[in-house]
Amino acid sequence: MFRYILRRLLQMVLAFLGTTLIVYALMFAGQGDPIQALAGERPVTEAQRAYLTEKYHLDATGIGGFFYRYFDYVRSLLQGDLGQSLTGRQIGDILQQAWPVTVKLALIALAVAVIFGVTAGVIAGIRRAGIFDNSTLVLTLLVLGIPTIVLAPLAQYFLGVKWQLFPPTAGAEPNFYALLLPGIVLGSLSLATALRLTRTSVAENLRADYVRTARSKGLVKRRIVSVHVLRNSLIPVVTFLGVELGNLMSGAIITEGVFNIPGVGFNLFRGIRTEDGPLVVGIVSVLVVVYLVSNLLVDVLYAVLDPRIRYE
Amino acid sequence: MTDAVIQPTPASATPEGGHLLEVRDLHVEFRTHEGVAKVINGVSYHLDAGETLAVLGESGSGKSVTAQAIMGILDSPPAHIRSGQILYQGRDLLTQSEEQRRQVRGKEIAMIFQDALSALNPVFPVGWQIGETLRTREGMSRADARRRAIELMDLVKIPAAERRIGDYPHQFSGGMRQRVMIAMALALNPKVLIADEPTTALDVTVQAQIMDLLADLRQELGMAMILITHDLGVVAGVADRIAVMYAGRIVEHADVRSLYRAPAHPYTKGLLESIPRLDVKGQELATIKGLPPNLMRIPSGCPFHPRCPYVQQVCVDVVPHSLVLGDGRTSECHFAQEVLDDSAR
């Protein structure tokens, strides 16, 4: 297990370098004059130009110059310095403000998926082909079929504006209540997938041979379902939710955009829109690490949940 | 151990003259989308305290379904018990509530299954699974249940039981896994053990070890045992009586010696003749021609008639009664006496 984790960590280094390189290249490849982009509409004096050229090693051109600047960037990244955005703010500060909001939103979304998705999935799995099972099937297909870009404004309009059950937008420092509706919208997709997955898994495990054995041992039905079947059924569900939490942590561009939530996705989208290269690359670099680490954690968790899985 | 063991049989628990377990004229059908399959068509057999009954038959003959009906673990739907009685200590299990039947399962009648790998829960340690009924049904503490689980693992001769109690089913070999199953079934000291093809999934050498273990345990604990198998070789050393099943009926029922010496049903005769013999060289292996019947369209008359070498018009028209041949032997064949005479020759 230890060797496995070590190997995965080494792979992560490669994956990290690869993804940041690609994002770095894409973001700066299309840019004309980076100094003018930094300055925006204001004029740039020769002295400023010389200073910035020196600072960012812009005198080195071609592939060599690109890699020179890339490794320069990675070096400061490893020292914990994400650099400055074109607006002059420290990217580290931006993330420090944005991340707690995104984490809160992600946890609300995950809680929605677990509480409603898994519970309904278990019930649907036990009462397979019943009314509950069929109605949840229709509902989940509906949710899975509607893209967030449609679902989020609809929820905002009806629940936020028309019936005013929730605040329609979150604002600068959103509280739990303001994040609830966006969290539900964001979680609905995970909810639907978790429900389908749980339902299939429970239905399948109920037919397993070990259930027959448990019955022949004279165990009560409640125990057979809640201990024997559930413990097996939830292995794929927990794995899915782990991966999903990793995804949610990286921010939800659409949901955060629609509800005006100052989270990671919101900032990332703003960076892309304003062609703020350092901001986009900075955020994506951190997201890559979050994603890689959460995937490793899920794989380790999987081995803990299922004794048959061994990592060498 | 000598042969003259006084067996601690719970004879007092059985009403006078009755059997410990008795199946009477059981009819079970599977109602599926394709139609109704008549899986059990009037099965009757009995089991006395301390004895071993072997139930023999091909796949689909209904031997496992009968056992699951006794245990009350048939999946219904599709299974539906149409009629019959299953008497345990004189009480009909089929008229009892689910809660009453649950009390019987595991404690009075326990069952072990063919494939121990899938029959054991993959995510719990074996010791946990063996001790589960002790904790949940007997109210034992964790420590006591663990101690008892180790004892049970010792009883079924799993080496280093104490060290292996925390291992998971997949970490055991096939034979050891089946021993875990047996230990689990014995946890509540059942009076009847139903072994559903306990050795089918195992290597031949391991098969013999498991059968020996079951025979020893039966003697030691004074249990009665129903041994379900399709392997005639497995039966000979262990069973007292044999019930041969075909298309959901008991076609022949006899004690082991008489049946092996001279079968009284053409199907049994065919089965015995299809065992490869080591002492006769170069002989073509005899087989029973044809296939077992489709249970949705069981042939008229005697269900075996399309495959039977003794077939006459009467076999096509009339369902044979169970013919009593003396010594408690029965055969469901119009020509039972002829078959018996033929076999004895």
Q: Where are the domains of chain A?
A: 16-78, 94-305
pLDDT at A57: 72
Task: For an interface test with A, give the residue of B73, B121, B126, B189 to mutate (most A CBs within 10 A).
Answer: B121
Burial of A269 (0-12, 13-18, 19+ CB in 10 A): middle
Segment holding B324, helix H or strand E: strand B323-326
Q: Which residue of A has its CA nearest to B106?
A: A217
Summarised one tens digit per residue, pLDDT across range A247-289 is 888 768 888 888 888 999 999 988 888 878 888 888 888 888 8
Hey, are the CB atoms on A212 and B113 less than 8 Å from each other?
yes
For B12-239, CATH number out of 1.20.810.10, 3.40.50.300, 3.30.70.100, 1.10.30.50 equals 3.40.50.300
Q: Which residue of A has its CA nearest to B170?
A: A308
CATH class for the domain made up of A94-305? mainly alpha
Are A307 and B166 in contact by the 8 Å Cβ rule? The answer is no
State the complex-level ipTM: 0.86
> In sequence order, what DSSP letters do the residues of A252-272 get, joined into one string?
-HHHHHHTT--SHHHHHHHHH
pLDDT-wise least confident of A59-73, B27-41, B80-94, B311-325: A59-73
Summarised one tens digit per residue, pLDDT across range B111-136 is 999 888 999 999 999 999 999 999 99
Cβ–Cβ contact B71 with A under 8 A: yes
pLDDT at A177: 84
Distance CA B234, CA B271 (A): 13
Summarised one tens digit per residue, pLDDT across range B216-246 is 998 889 899 999 988 887 788 888 999 999 9
Q: Per 3-state DSSP, what percentage of chain B is helix, strand, and coil (rounded to 5)?
A: 35, 20, 40
Amino acid occupying residue B244: V
Summarised one tens digit per residue, pLDDT across range A126-137 is 998 889 999 999
Hey, are the CB atoms on B184 and A208 less than 8 Å from each other?
no
pLDDT at B14: 47
Task: Print the SS3 string covering B269-286.
Answer: HHHHHCCCCCCCCCCCCC
Residue B1 confidence class, pLDDT cut points 50, 70, 90 = very low
Mean pLDDT on A88-100: 88
Q: Which residue of A has its CA nearest to B109?
A: A216
Hey, are the CB atoms on A217 and B113 less than 8 Å from each other?
no
Distance CA B187, CA B145 (A): 10
Summarised one tens digit per residue, pLDDT across range A201-251 is 999 999 999 999 999 999 999 999 999 999 999 999 999 998 898 888 876
Task: For an interface test with B, give the residue of A210, A223, A237 to mutate (most B CBs within 10 A).
Answer: A210
Summarised one tens digit per residue, pLDDT across range A148-166 is 888 888 888 888 888 888 8
Name the residue among B281, B282, B247, B284 with its Cα closest to residue B267.
Answer: B247
Contacts 24+ apart (CB under 8 A), B205-212: B206/B173, B206/B174, B206/B175, B206/B178, B207/B234, B209/B175, B210/B175, B210/B178, B210/B179, B210/B182, B211/B237, B211/B238
Summarised one tens digit per residue, pLDDT across range B136-173 is 999 999 999 999 999 999 999 999 989 999 999 999 99
Distance CA B114, CA A83 (A): 65
Q: Which residue of B has its CA nearest to A220?
A: B102
Are A198 and A123 in contact by the 8 Å Cβ rule? The answer is no
Nearest-CA distance from B206 to chain A in Å?
22
The CATH 3.40.50.300 portion of chain B extends over: 12-239
Contacts 24+ apart (CB under 8 A), B338-345: B338/B310, B339/B263, B339/B264, B339/B265, B339/B266, B339/B269, B339/B310, B340/B262, B340/B263, B340/B264, B342/B269, B343/B261, B343/B262, B343/B263, B343/B264, B343/B269, B344/B261, B344/B262
pLDDT at B224: 94
pTM value > 0.90: no
At residue B11, does pLDDT exceed 60?
no
Summarised one tens digit per residue, pLDDT across range A30-45 is 666 767 766 667 777 8
Hey, are the CB atoms on A213 and B123 less than 8 Å from each other?
no
pLDDT at B10: 44
Beta bridge partner(s), residue B88: B21, B91
Are A182 and A256 in contact by the 8 Å Cβ rule? The answer is yes
